[in-house]
Amino acid sequence: MDAEIKDDQLAVKIYGLIKQYVNRTTEEKSGQKYEDFKNQKNAKGKINYPEKYLETREKICSNAFLAMRGRRDKDFIEYFTGTICSVPQWMPEADYVLVGQALIENWELVKTYSMLALSACSFVGKSTQNDDSKGDEQ
């Protein structure tokens, strides 16, 4: 497989793993399920996220980002598999192999993609009625 295509697939898969971790952990820690408010929208059609949900999500992303930032080699691999993979993750066999090999052969790339994904997942929007922010995806 072409290295560029493989890196693109890895980036997409890492983003999905991080997003799943953030979504599930946010729901668990905030006590608020996305399904319960996803249809509550402001005048611009953006979801009105509960403040507690937003604060919890930002804290989860920030904590994971900072925890990853200082880890290297096996310490990063253990953190990734022990934390990000601590929530149920659906992964076809090919993705499992892709992520597993990347963790062993190029953990730095996995770390970079993970930190970028955490940053991207930390913001989903604001809960105010006047919101004109771009974020709206969970």
Q: What is the pLDDT of residues 84-110, one digit of tens each?
A: 999 999 999 999 999 999 999 999 999
Amino acid letter, 134:
K
Amino acid letter, 68:
M
Q: Which residues face 41 on adjacent strands? A: 47
- Model pLDDT, residue 129: 42
* pLDDT at position 59 over 80: yes
Mean pLDDT of the chain: 91
Amino acid letter, 80:
F
Q: Evaluate whether 118 touches 18 at the Cβ level (below 8 Å).
A: yes
Half-sphere exposure of 4 (CA within 13 A, CB side): 0
